[in-house]
Each structure stands twice: as structure tokens, then as C-alpha cells.
Structure 1
Amino acid sequence: MTYIKGIATAAAIFAASAAFAEGKMHHVAIHVDENDPKVMNMALNNVTNVTKYYESKGDEVTVELVAYGPGLNMFVAGKSPVEDRISAMSLEMENLSFAACGNTLKKMSEKAGKDIVLLEEAGVVPSGVVRLIELQENGFAYIRP
């Protein structure tokens, strides 16, 4: 009987250590809707800090930063106050993606009377709000700096 308990305990310890070695996958959605460099930088700091934290635990994390409304200026080429950081981070962090609201982009382009050019790192989604809903429905944690 003791032998069987010992085997069961050893198996449980092995399973637990194997699970730790594999790490856990986390999903995070970060929302920016303000044209404020402090908020934009805080959002990018959140990306870095979350990534470093989970990697230090042996886990993985996927982060999608979604911008709409005035926050879309974060992704406007030649206008973004964080353009250099976005460029560097996108090269350094494979776990990071950027989503730009298509509704906001359309309104900004109409108001400007010309197409607004976004950073190449930003993918356009039909609606930033809908994208945040979809991400949360798919298990992403929601962060708004």
C-alpha cells in the first residue's frame, strides 16, 4: 500500500513539474483611447512589464494593443509620439500585436480630406470596440492604463 502511495506521489510531483516546465499561456488586451503620450507610454510599459513577468515565470503571454478614438494617434505615421518605441518593440517582441480601429481611421481620413497613413506595425480591424469585445470573449484579460 505504501509503495502505491509513493508511486502516486511521485507521479503527481512529476506531473506538476512537467506542467511548470511547459508554462502557462496568458492573453492580454490593452486598450488606448486617449491622445496622451503618458497614456501611450504607460500602455507600452504595461506590455513590457507583463511580458517580462510571465517570461520570468516560464510562462508565455500574447498581448494585443487596441487603439481607437483619439488613441489612434498612437499609430499615425509621422505623428505618433511613441512611433520609435512601437517600431523597436514590434521587432523585439513576437508576442505583441497592434490593432487600429477602422471606424476611427475612416473618420480621421474624412476629416483630414485625405487618407491617414498608419504605422506598418498596426493592423486595421473594423472596430476597436468590437475587437476588445472579441478578445475578452476569447479569454483575454483586459487592461486600460
Structure 2
Amino acid sequence: MVSFIGWSRRGLLASTAILAAGAPAAAKEDRLTDGVVILIDSNEPYVMGHAISYSANLAKHFADKGARLLIEVVANGKGIDVFRADKTPLAGPLATLRQSLPDLAYSMCASSRAIAEAKEQVSIPLIPGANLVPFGIGRVVDLQLKGWAYIHA
């Protein structure tokens, strides 16, 4: 309970306006987030596997509640290996998951890809269904600014 003893009329009116404005915000907190962005920046197989498991588990969790959830997995830095057709240890599970979850997107950082291509002197192929974004971290921030939840794998 909020006590208004000793408050000026102006302070009381301002506080009441703030509390009233907070009511819709509280209701907004109860609504489903627009989506979840999962960042992978490691080429450790267990880290990549966790990120993919998070995707499947989140989709099931929200589907069980009757809710739709957009999920985007963003690979950045060394994490781009997850979406490299020539290196990923998860080609099968990634394909299966993407087929079963229409609201799942895979994005690879184009900057990280270009750095890896220059270092390795190869052209890096992407797995089917993966898209390039200019900067992986930029994509994560863009989605967060749109209200998406963030998970670092």
C-alpha cells in the first residue's frame, strides 16, 4: 500500500499518474513476447546443441499453452559453424527442427562469414534454410528493441 502522508498535491497527482500509467504496463507483461532470439557465438558442439534444444523446448512450452512463438537462432563469430553446411555437426537435427517449426528462423552473421572465408580461403556454404544478416549482434539488438526476449546459448 502506498502512503500519501506528507506529499504535496503536485507530487500526489504525479504519483497517481505514474501508478495509473503502470497498470497497462503490468498487463503488457502478461502478454506473450513477440519472439525469442537465441545467440550462438561458440563452435562447441554442446553449446550449439543447447541452442537447438532451447528452440524445440520453447516452441513446445508455448504450444502447450496455445500460444505462437517466433524463434530466431542467430550465429555469430565462431558460432557460425552451426549453420555451415561443411562443418555443422547438427545438419540432421537442424533440418528436422526447421521442418517441424514453421516459426523458426536461422540467421548467420555475414561479417563473421566473410572473416572466416578470408582466413580459411574458402567459400562457406550455408545449410538449407539459413539466411545471412549483415551483423549477428546487430540482428540480436534489432529484435530486442522490437520486444523479443534474448537467450545466450
Per the normalisation by structure 1, the TM-score is 0.81
Shift of 1:24: 4.7
Which residue of structure 1 aligns with residue 102 of structure 2? 94
What is the match of residue 85 of structure 1? 93
**Secondary structure of the corresponding residue to residue 69 of structure 2:** strand
Same amino acid, percent of matched pairs:
30
| Match 2:81 to one of 73, 78, 82 | 73
Contact 1:33 1:70 survives alignment (8 Å): yes
Tell me if the contact between 2:33 and 2:148 (Cα under 8 Å) persists in the aligned partners: no
**How do 1:1-145 and structure 2 match up within 5 A?**
24=32, 26-145=34-153
SS in 1 for 2:66: coil
Which one has the largest radius of gyration?
2
Number of residue pairs aligned between Structure 1 and Structure 2: 123
TM-score (norm 2): 0.77
Partner deviation per Cα, 1:50-78 (whole Å, 9 max, x = no partner)? 11010101111000000010100001113
After TM superposition, what 4+ stretches of structure 1 lie above 3 angstroms from structure 2?
23-26
Preserved contact between residue 102 and residue 124 of structure 1 (Cα < 8 Å): yes
Structure 2 unmatched runs, 5+:
1-30
Unaligned runs of 5+ in 1: 1-22
Could you say what the CA RMSD is over the residues aligned between the two structures, in angstroms?
1.3
Listed one character per residue, the Cα deviations across residues 93-134 of structure 1 (whole Å, up to 9, x for unaligned) are: 101000100000001111121211111221000000100010
Q: Which amino acid in 2 is paired with 1:134?
A: D
Alpha-carbon distance in 2 for matches of 1:70, 1:137:
24
